[in-house]
Amino acid sequence: MADEFIKGFAILTGGLLIWLVFAGWFNTPSFYDTQLIAPNPEDPGTYAAVALVIKDAMLYFALVGAFTFWVLVPTGRRAREYYAETDS
């Protein structure tokens, strides 16, 4: 169980770190205004548009990855153990 926890935690930390960097660059208009959750720029250039896609992808990767390693993998292992015991 410890290896699933640390894998999920590493994915959560890494994904949210990348999201935080891109959100700080593109979604923080000023220090005293809305930070990290301000709207995306209206007319981004090509590289900014790619960075915004990466930002959104990293948020979903972090959340889904942590959920996978913290919930789905342990549930699958316990279900497999349960079915192995009931088949015998």
As averages over each run of 10 residues, the pLDDT of the chain (88 residues) reads 90 96 90 86 92 96 96 94 86
In which domain, by residue range, is 47 found?
Answer: 2-87
Residue-level pLDDT at 13: 97
Give the model's pLDDT for residue 88: 65
What is the per-residue pLDDT for 30?
83
The pLDDT value recorded for residue 78 is 93
Contact 52, 22 (CB under 8 A): yes
Angstrom distances, CA of residue 9 to CA of 15, 16, 70 = 10, 10, 9
Please tell me the total count of domains within the chain.
1
- Confidence (pLDDT) at 71: 95
